[in-house]
A and B are shown apart, each in its own frame.
Chain A
Amino acid sequence: MTENKKQEFWRWEESSWKNPDIKWQDSGYITVGIDVGSVSSQAVIMTDGEIFAYGNVRTGSDSPYSASNALNFALKDVDMPEERINYCVGTGYGRVNVPMADRSITEIACHARGANFIYGPEVRTVLDVGGQDIKAIQCDEKGKVTNFLMNDKCAAGTGRGMEVFADLLGVSIGEVGDRSFQFEGEDNVAVSNVCVVYAKSEATGLLRKGHTTEQVLAAYCEAMAERIYSLVERLGINPEFCITGGMAKNRGVSERLMARIGLKAMKTRWDTQIAGAVGAALFGYSLCLKGKGRITQEV
């Protein structure tokens, strides 16, 4: 089997960030949340429940490696020894394979808790569209889950479906959102909103009939929005509403989805992809406060 070496349009940039105002030496509990997703992995380092630093990397074929890669990315500019960490929680699709984790917690619980932090306690509905699943979660003012559903059986509506389209159309994943609005003429072309395989063959047909790449992108973004909407609607839509995960960065889907829902999505200054890892680190902090942290010399 030969590896396909053509340009990979679905790729995106890895990143890291740190808060220059926090001195880890002065803090009490340092907790880490590592979210190993199917496509990306994030490590968030928190000092007493505040975000200190994070790294966002692509998930490789090996979960343990991806987890430590994310953590190293977060640690690379902060000059803090790994031994200083009081508690580490793994979450996400690869959560049972995070070697440095003290325990694992599901992404459902972590996303609700993380969204509560990065969007504020008024959040009631959290939609997370990940690379391989869609999670719709309702939570209370403490970020505790009250109702959830997760669809990881079918690729329709997930980031994976979008990757298939980015590749098919030769559009890089970061440009999908903008380009899906850049077309002239009719916007009445449509593709299946329930099956990526069928949508793909319909798209090929549309291109052959002379529709532009932008029109087909618009059709697929709309199909994704419809599909995601059907899941959210099942759970019931409670304002305030927020979108986490990579899809929040794709305005082609998120704006079409919010137009359907008829609400404005909450905004945050934080990277939406880190919500799960933030929640995991916060659970770590709660557990430390309960006296379950690792014993370190300073604390």
Chain B
Amino acid sequence: MLANYGYIDGSGSYFISIDTDKCDGCGNCVTVCPSGIFEVLDEDPNDPLRDGPVAAVVGDKKKKLKYECGPCKPVNGTPKLACIEACKAGAISHSW
């Protein structure tokens, strides 16, 4: 399942997508994210019949991604993002 966390508002579209078929719940993203955006849940709240842990975006951060992710995205050229680098399964992507 492709879980898209985030929002669209007047200023743009801000989504972090987690491919739950690839995610094994290792938690590397949780460790590296300076803004504490990720968490690992024991079961997938959007897929009650799936087994095993899965990463998700923390509830109240979903509505602030543009701001929470700001420190990793300076306007003068975005370097490689820590969360994407840390995810060996390649389950994480950003829309902006």
Is there a contact between chains A and B in the complex with CB atoms less than 8 Å apart? Answer: yes
Q: Which of B1, B8, B45, B49 contacts A154 (CB 8 A)?
A: B8
Cβ contact within 8 Å between B47 and A235: no
Q: Knowing A153-B63, A154-B7, A231-B8 are in contact, say whether A109-B2 is a contact too (CB < 8 A).
A: no
Cβ contact within 8 Å between A149 and B62: no
Binding site for A on B (CB under 8 A): 1-4, 6-10, 13, 15, 45-49, 62-63
Q: Knowing A147-B4, A194-B10, A230-B8 are in contact, say whether A283-B48 is a contact too (CB < 8 A).
A: yes
Interface hub of A144, A153, A194, A231 (most chain B Cβ within 10 A)? A153
Cβ contact within 8 Å between A151 and B7: yes
Cβ contact within 8 Å between B10 and A192: yes
Residues of the A chain whose Cβ atoms lie less than 8 Å from the Cβ of B10: 154, 156, 192, 194-195, 198
Residues of the A chain whose Cβ atoms lie less than 8 Å from the Cβ of B62: 152-153
Q: Which of A144, A145, A148, A151 contacts B8 (CB 8 A)?
A: A151
Docked Cα-Cα span, A145 to B4, in Å, equals 12
- Can you name 8 A-B pairs with beta carbons within 8 Å? A106-B46, A109-B46, A145-B46, A146-B1, A148-B4, A148-B46, A152-B63, A198-B10
Cβ contact within 8 Å between A149 and B15: yes
Tell me the A164-204 residues at the B interface (CB within 8 Å).
192, 194-195, 198
Q: Knowing A151-B8, A153-B7 are in contact, say whether A145-B48 is a contact too (CB < 8 A).
A: no
Docked Cα-Cα span, A108 to B44, in Å, equals 11
Q: Is A68 an interface residue (CB 8 A)?
A: no
Closest to A195 in B: B10
Main secondary structure of the interface of A (DSSP, over half): mixed
The 9 closest A-B pairs by CB, nearest first: A153-B7, A194-B10, A149-B4, A153-B63, A147-B2, A154-B9, A108-B46, A106-B45, A195-B10
Docked Cα-Cα span, A150 to B48, in Å, equals 18
The interface size of chain A toward B, counting residues with CB under 8 Å, comes to 26
Docked Cα-Cα span, A192 to B48, in Å, equals 38
Docked Cα-Cα span, A150 to B7, in Å, equals 7
Mark contacts of A117-156 with chain B using CB atoms, 8 A cut-off: 1 yes-contact digit, 0 otherwise. Answer: 0000000000000000000000000001111111111101
Cβ contact within 8 Å between B1 and A145: yes
Residues of the B chain whose Cβ atoms lie less than 8 Å from the Cβ of A235: 4
Q: Is A97 an interface residue (CB 8 A)?
A: no
Docked Cα-Cα span, A189 to B49, in Å, equals 48
Q: Which of B3, B13, B48 contacts A148 (CB 8 A)?
A: B3
Besides A154-B7, A234-B8, 14 other A-B contacts (C-beta < 8 A) = A105-B48, A144-B47, A144-B49, A145-B1, A146-B1, A146-B2, A152-B63, A153-B7, A154-B10, A156-B9, A195-B10, A234-B15, A283-B48, A286-B49
A101 CB to nearest chain B CB (Å)? 13
Cβ contact within 8 Å between B1 and A147: yes
Residues of the B chain whose Cβ atoms lie less than 8 Å from the Cβ of A283: 48
Docked Cα-Cα span, A105 to B49, in Å, equals 10
Closest to A134 in B: B8
Docked Cα-Cα span, A198 to B11, in Å, equals 13
Cβ contact within 8 Å between A148 and B1: yes
Closest to A155 in B: B9
B62 CB to nearest chain A CB (Å)? 7
Q: Which of A144, A145, A147, A194 contacts B9 (CB 8 A)?
A: A194
Residues of the B chain whose Cβ atoms lie less than 8 Å from the Cβ of A154: 7-10
